[in-house]
A and B are shown apart, each in its own frame.
Chain A
């Protein structure tokens, strides 16, 4: 069975319903992105599809490719048993298959682009023997896949459920236990593949970089869990600086260090590696802030749309207001213990949180563009710039 056939079948396995975009479809017409309206899916897809042409192939499902060993039939079968249960793994799996914005395999694409943008090292000629396709070394392509593997592994591990917090609405305990089991094993399987891939690169500096990125990512996910809202909807008082540190860990570190590792593989010097790191870091930060802003800038939002109380606009809003006033606002937005998100959203929009989040997003976007300036002009560099423009445009 070819990759395409298998991937087209996966949605059926997962009991998916609703509108689906074909995973391997690309947008045929290339329209200048400047003419498009801000964050329409068509615009984002377009930036991505142009980028994919530059690197040579569609990068969706990079991490799922590794599952195409004999284990896939086992994992898919096991995940199928979860259909009808409430285990988060099912949602994660569906998200991986459906090409939604949040689960876009962005990291891999960025690593490929920056590899191409940097080109071969002018100083060090020892990479002459590596094979290069579309301006990217095969080891760098491998690295892009490894990055996606690590990201997906933690995505899966995020979906573990605490068994003693289950309620009767979550369904039978047995299902949750089984779901946990499959989630752990699948995540571990992806990590094992990532480790093997790293070993094959025969470069211990790169192994160290990616291993430390994994460590950062795990700590970032841990913070996400810990600072999520408790029963009374009041989150920890973290402040924007701490938020930045934690977001770097959970969203920035992997991309930043992978970009740096891609430079190391091509034997670029420390300065180039640092620029790649900076691009990765700032681009990831602005992407996260953009994603946090979505509930606050969309014109039509349903009343039931919830948002994360630890997202950038909310944290900034809280910081401007001061802790006590913020808690008061939350209490006012509560009705019979349930939070009225629509009301809270209006309250936040009326404050300074949203605008300063937009400023922060643009700040990081600019830092990313600055880092790109040290790379020679090329198609790949333009694509990287376009990605930054796409995530910082809010009008």
Chain B
């Protein structure tokens, strides 16, 4: 566990000096000043063996405006400008681009759920109604095309790659159904959860059924490497839930624990689905790794922003109640960062916000602190890493769409 955190820390280390200076970026002098300062701070941190936590704190206190979202949004393209960002083709909305291949996604998923019993079928199809974000399938098909084009300029998506999109969405949904029973959740995507309508017993069975249907579809692709890659996800999802059951006392351990849980519960599915389509489309292991890293970093950023939105958004937008994590006793990114400023939160974290009034107090602390900004900043770092990786592929509309998608992850509000 610790090793993955340290590995992450190394790959997200400060290397602004390595980037070419962005043209026309606001505050150019500020940028070089930032580079110098961060390089110095990074060196100091390495010497002092500071935890990532403290590094972020020291940097963000030195540059109070550098982590605001809008600022970085302008700066990001400039900083990441590599020589081949523009492919010359018209830049379209990534969701539209992805949906061209995903027409009939939900109908096809429903076909995989060949169940004779009406009620059971209804339960399993409940979330495949076309109202989800379909974020994961979109990434999968865009990645498939990007890899295919990179490999041999093929503009087709193989049937097996499209199947991965379905399978990813099915695995995701199966885990949601179980998670809702575990969390005793009453609403999701703006409607009642399966467990509230049909009861817990049947909800658990529905989740198992969707998982089995996904496994059958996976086996039918006929590729043992792909089977291995995606079964890893199933294990990670369960281990992620177990991680959530336990808690750590040491502050630094807590953060590493949180990141590991975030990887297992969210990023692993995206990372491994991307890797799976790249394996199907291209024999080069370098490409597989690029796909995996893109998926992993976008996945981590996605969940971090999700955790932020739990504090900043209101329930109507989200389709599910907010402060949900606090009510479940979970200390997410904003809380962990806020705890640095308000050590009195430690006691609340340890008792998982179980005392009356804890949830509201914790929420107040978070909103008063810079926990939200810090978490967002961390998400931005992950997105930058994702873009850096995906930019190594041959230019294409799909590759650009994936770049744009990582930015959308940061700026979404639901």
- A residues sitting closer than 8 Å to B (CB atoms) are 71, 74, 78, 154, 157, 160-165, 177, 180-181, 184-185, 187-189, 191-193, 195-196, 198-200, 202-205, 207-208, 211-212, 214-215, 218-219, 221-223, 225-226
* Residue contacts A-B, CB under 8 angstroms, 23 given: A160-B181, A160-B204, A162-B200, A162-B201, A163-B199, A180-B181, A180-B182, A188-B178, A191-B234, A192-B231, A195-B215, A195-B235, A204-B220, A207-B218, A208-B216, A208-B220, A211-B216, A214-B211, A215-B213, A218-B209, A219-B116, A219-B120, A221-B205
Known contacts A164-B199, A198-B231; can you find 19 more A-B pairs with CB under 8 A? A157-B208, A160-B201, A163-B184, A177-B184, A181-B182, A185-B242, A187-B208, A191-B234, A193-B235, A196-B235, A204-B220, A204-B224, A207-B218, A208-B219, A211-B215, A215-B216, A218-B209, A218-B212, A219-B115
Counting from the closest, the 7 A-B pairs by CB-CB distance are A211-B215, A208-B219, A207-B219, A215-B212, A199-B231, A162-B199, A214-B212
Considering the chains assembled together, what is the distance between the CA atoms of A192 and B239 in angstroms? 9
Considering the chains assembled together, what is the distance between the CA atoms of A187 and B203 in angstroms? 14
Cβ-defined partner of A199 (8 Å) among B120, B202, B209, B224:
B224
> B238 interface residue, CB < 8 Å from A?
yes
- Quick check: A74 and B212 within 8 Å, CB to CB? no
> B70 interface residue, CB < 8 Å from A?
no
> B343 interface residue, CB < 8 Å from A?
no
> B18 interface residue, CB < 8 Å from A?
no
Distance from A202 Cβ to chain B, minimum over Cβ atoms (Å): 5
- Quick check: A218 and B219 within 8 Å, CB to CB? no
- Quick check: A78 and B245 within 8 Å, CB to CB? yes
- Quick check: A161 and B212 within 8 Å, CB to CB? no
Considering the chains assembled together, what is the distance between the CA atoms of A284 and B228 in angstroms? 31
Give a binary string over B211-244; 1 marks a CB under 8 Å from any A CB, 0 the rest.
1110110111111100110011011011101100
Helix, strand, loop or mixed for chain B's interface? helix
Distance from A90 Cβ to chain B, minimum over Cβ atoms (Å): 17
Considering the chains assembled together, what is the distance between the CA atoms of A193 and B222 in angstroms? 20
Distance from A179 Cβ to chain B, minimum over Cβ atoms (Å): 11
- Quick check: B224 and A203 within 8 Å, CB to CB? yes
> What chain A residues lie within 8 Å of B224 (beta carbons)?
199, 202-204
Considering the chains assembled together, what is the distance between the CA atoms of A309 and B322 in angstroms? 46
Closest Cβ neighbor of A211 among chain B residues: B215
> What chain B residues lie within 8 Å of A188 (beta carbons)?
178, 237-238, 241
- Quick check: B231 and A154 within 8 Å, CB to CB? no
> B117 interface residue, CB < 8 Å from A?
yes
> What chain A residues lie within 8 Å of B117 (beta carbons)?
219, 222-223
Considering the chains assembled together, what is the distance between the CA atoms of A185 and B231 in angstroms? 17
> Known contacts A208-B219, A221-B205; is A163 also within 8 Å of B200 by CB?
yes
**Interface residues of B toward A: which range?**
35 or more
Cβ-defined partner of B238 (8 Å) among A189, A202, A226:
A189
Distance from B354 Cβ to chain A, minimum over Cβ atoms (Å): 11
Considering the chains assembled together, what is the distance between the CA atoms of A200 and B201 in angstroms? 31
> B246 interface residue, CB < 8 Å from A?
yes
> What chain A residues lie within 8 Å of B204 (beta carbons)?
157, 160, 184, 187
> Known contacts A204-B221, A212-B212; is A195 also within 8 Å of B231 by CB?
yes
Considering the chains assembled together, what is the distance between the CA atoms of A212 and B221 in angstroms? 15
Distance from B218 Cβ to chain A, minimum over Cβ atoms (Å): 7
Cβ-defined partner of B181 (8 Å) among A165, A184, A195:
A184
> Known contacts A160-B204, A164-B199, A225-B201; is A184 also within 8 Å of B212 by CB?
no
- Quick check: B238 and A222 within 8 Å, CB to CB? no
Cβ-defined partner of B200 (8 Å) among A161, A189, A193, A221:
A161
Considering the chains assembled together, what is the distance between the CA atoms of A202 and B212 in angstroms? 18
Q: Give the residue among A71, A215, A223 with the most B Cβ atoms within 10 A.
A: A215
- Quick check: A219 and B209 within 8 Å, CB to CB? yes
Give a binary string over B186-211; 1 marks a CB under 8 Å from any A CB, 0 the rest.
00000000000001111011001101
Considering the chains assembled together, what is the distance between the CA atoms of A199 and B221 in angstroms? 13
Closest Cβ neighbor of B236 among chain A residues: A192
> What chain B residues lie within 8 Å of A154 (beta carbons)?
208
- Quick check: B219 and A211 within 8 Å, CB to CB? yes
> What chain B residues lie within 8 Å of A196 (beta carbons)?
231-232, 234-235
Distance from B207 Cβ to chain A, minimum over Cβ atoms (Å): 8
Considering the chains assembled together, what is the distance between the CA atoms of A154 and B202 in angstroms? 12
- Quick check: A185 and B120 within 8 Å, CB to CB? no
> What chain A residues lie within 8 Å of B237 (beta carbons)?
188, 192
Closest Cβ neighbor of B226 among chain A residues: A204
Considering the chains assembled together, what is the distance between the CA atoms of A177 and B220 in angstroms? 37
> What chain B residues lie within 8 Å of A200 (beta carbons)?
228
Distance from A219 Cβ to chain B, minimum over Cβ atoms (Å): 7
Considering the chains assembled together, what is the distance between the CA atoms of A165 and B201 in angstroms? 11
> What chain A residues lie within 8 Å of B182 (beta carbons)?
180-181, 184-185
> Known contacts A74-B242, A157-B208, A192-B235; is A207 also within 8 Å of B199 by CB?
no
> What chain B residues lie within 8 Å of A184 (beta carbons)?
178, 181-182, 204
> What chain B residues lie within 8 Å of A163 (beta carbons)?
184, 199-200
> What chain A residues lie within 8 Å of B228 (beta carbons)?
199-200
Cβ-defined partner of A207 (8 Å) among B200, B201, B227, B238:
B227
